[in-house]
Amino acid sequence: MQRRKFINTATAGILGAGAATLSGVALAQIPEFKWRLASSFPKSLDTIFGGAELIAKRVAAATGGKFQIQVFAANEIVPGGAVLDAVKDGTVQMGHTASYYYVGKDPTFAFDTAMPFGLNARQQNAWMYEGGGLALMRELFKEYNIYQIPAGNTGAQMGGWYRKEIKTVADLKGLKFRIGGIGGQVLQKLGVVPQQIPGSDVYPALEKGTIDAAEWVGPYDDEKLGFNKVAKYYYYPGWWEGGPQLSVYINLNEWAKLPKEYQAILEAACAEANIDMQAKYDAKNPAALKRLVAGGTLLRPFSNEILAASYKAAVELFEEIAAKNPRFAKVYTPWKRFRDEQVEWFSVCESRFDSFVAATVRSDRKK
Ligand code: CA
C-alpha cells in the first residue's frame, strides 16, 4: 500500500493537478529518459551486480517505462575501476561502484565505502542517513561533478584466501595480497605488498601465483569466483571492511535535467537496493560457507597479534593522512566521534545479544 501511494503521488506530480493515476493519454506527456549505467562488477555476481539491475527495474516500473536505465557490467563500457571518471566526464549518466576504488584520487573516498576497523553495515547506514555522513560525502562528490546515493552493502566481509597459514605479523612480510580500499595501505606498514586488481581478474592472478592471497567479499561471491580451488585457508574477519557500502553515482548535469519526481523515484530505488543487497548476502552466505567447508576449505580467525598490529597501523595511517589532507581530516574527526559512540552503544546491547545467542544456539545444536 505504501509503495502504491508513493508511486501515485510521484506520477501525479508529473501529470499535474487532478491526474491521480496513469492513463494512456497522460503517459504520453511524461518526459522520457534513457540512461546508461556503468557497474564496477561482473554479471556473474548476482548480489552486487544485481543492485544496479534492481534500481533499473524499479525506476522503469515506477515511471511506466518512461525512465529507462540500461545496466552495463564492468568492461562493457569502462573497466570496473573507471566508473567515477566515466560518470564525472559524462561518458555514462550513472554508475554503481565502491567509492574506495578511488582512494588513489583522494583517500576521503574510503568513508563512502568502508574504513579499516570502522563501521558495520548498520552503523554505516546510521552515519550516512542520520549522522551527517551523506552531507559530507556529497560535498566531496560535488567536486567531481557527481551526485552520490548509498545503494547496497555486503555486510562484514571475510579476510580472504591464502595459500599458506598466516599466524603472526612476521608471516605477512612480502605477502602479495589483493585487497580493496585503504586496508592495503595499512597492511603495507606490516610488510604486505598490496595489489589493486578488479574482481574479474583476481582468480587468474591467484591461480598463476602472481599473487599469494586475495580477498573479495564473502562465501557466496568467493565461491562463485572459485578462490577455494586455488587457496585453502579462508581467514576472517576482513577488518578493513566491517560494512562496506556500494554507491550510485550520477553526473550532476544529468541529475539536474531529471524532473523532481524522477529524482525521488531514483533515490527510493537506491534505498531499496541498499536493503536488498544486504538481505541477499545474509541469506545466501551461510549455505555457501557450509559448501566451502565441506569441500575442504579451512576456516581460520586472524590471530589477536595480527588484529592488534593492524589496528595500531590503521590508526597511524589515518592520523598521517589527516595531517596532510584537510578534506580527509574534515570527515575523519566527526566520523571517528560517531564510530566511537556507536561502539559504546553496540557493546552494551547488540554485541551481548549477538554473542549470547551465537554461543547458546551453537552449543544447543550440538547436544
Ligand atoms: Ca573486499
**pLDDT tens for each residue of 234-283:** 999 999 999 999 999 999 999 999 999 999 999 999 999 999 999 999 99
What is the CA(236)–ligand 1 centre distance, in A? 12
Q: Is residue 65 part of a domain?
A: yes
pTM: 0.91
Q: Is residue 341 part of a domain?
A: no
100 with 114: CB under 8 angstroms? yes
How far, CA to CA in Å, does 137 sit from each of 180, 261, 331, 341? 19, 23, 8, 20
What is the CA(145)–ligand 1 centre distance, in A? 27
Q: Is residue 113 part of a domain?
A: yes
Tell me how many domains the chain contains.
Answer: 1
Looking at residue 71, its pLDDT comes to: 98
Q: Is residue 361 part of a domain?
A: no
User: Where residue 200 falls among pLDDT bands split at 50, 70, 90?
Assistant: low
Q: Is residue 38 part of a domain?
A: yes
In degrees, rounded to 5, the angle at the alpha carbon of residue 259 between the alpha carbons of residues 254 and 261 is 125
CATH of the domain at 136: 3.40.190.170
Exposure string for 281-290, b = 16+ CB within 10 A, e = fewer: beebbeebbe
What is the CA(241)–ligand 1 centre distance, in A? 7
Q: Is residue 222 part of a domain?
A: no
Q: Is residue 146 part of a domain?
A: yes
Q: Is residue 98 part of a domain?
A: yes
Looking at residue 7, its pLDDT comes to: 45
What is the CA(99)–ligand 1 centre distance, in A? 12
What is the CA(237)–ligand 1 centre distance, in A? 11
Residues spanned by the domain of 257: 2-156+242-282
